Amino acid sequence: MSDVHEGGCLCGAVRYRVNGNPLRSHACHCTFCQRRTGSTNALVAVFSGENVEITGGPLSIYEHRSDESGRWLRLEFCPRCGTNVTFTFERVPSARSISAGTFDDPNWFKLERHIWTRSALHCMSIAPGVEKFETHFTP
């Protein structure tokens, strides 16, 4: 299997390439991720920032302050179609999170855990054997 994986936004204006496996991956069920995705949760693959290359763009940025921690989250999205492609957190600014659904093949990595399950929608079920945390996972 190749160590390089590519993806991009809905309209194709923003493209990216990642090298290597994610540092971690998770499904986040916090209310912020529910709103930013318009869905039940966000699937996220986290990489060292140096392993992510934006090959199209530019990206627009929206900065949000967490109600829970007070720290910032920087969302980077396509200014044309609005797809949320990548984001960074104040807590770990050297890491870059990729919205898993934007990969050309989103099935290439394994989902490790579910976080913020205390706000998971009632219709969600979590597979047995996958780690789950009521709030954030801290490695």
pLDDT in tens, 86-129: 999 888 889 999 999 999 998 898 888 888 888 888 888 888 88
Assigned token pair, 9: 């936004």
Asked whether the predicted pLDDT for residue 1 surpasses 60, the reply is no
139 cis-preceded (ω within 30 degrees of 0): no
Mean pLDDT of 10-30: 93
- State pTM to two decimals: 0.86
pLDDT, position 49: 93
Q: CB within 8 A of 129, min separation 6: which ones?
A: none
What average pLDDT score do residues 69-90 get?
91
Alpha-carbon distance 10 to 91, whole Å? 29
Residue 139 has pLDDT above 80, yes or no: no
**Do residues 106 and 5 touch, judged by C-beta distance below 8 A?**
no
Per-residue confidence (pLDDT) for residue 126, from 0 to 100: 86
Distance from the Cα of residue 116 to its chain's centroid: 14
Residue with tokens 């920087």, as numbered in its chain: 74
Beta strands 15-19; 4-8: pairing state = antiparallel
DSSP code of 97?
A: E
Q: What is the pLDDT of residue 121?
A: 87
DSSP state of 14: -
Q: Per-residue pLDDT averaged across 2-25, rounded?
A: 94
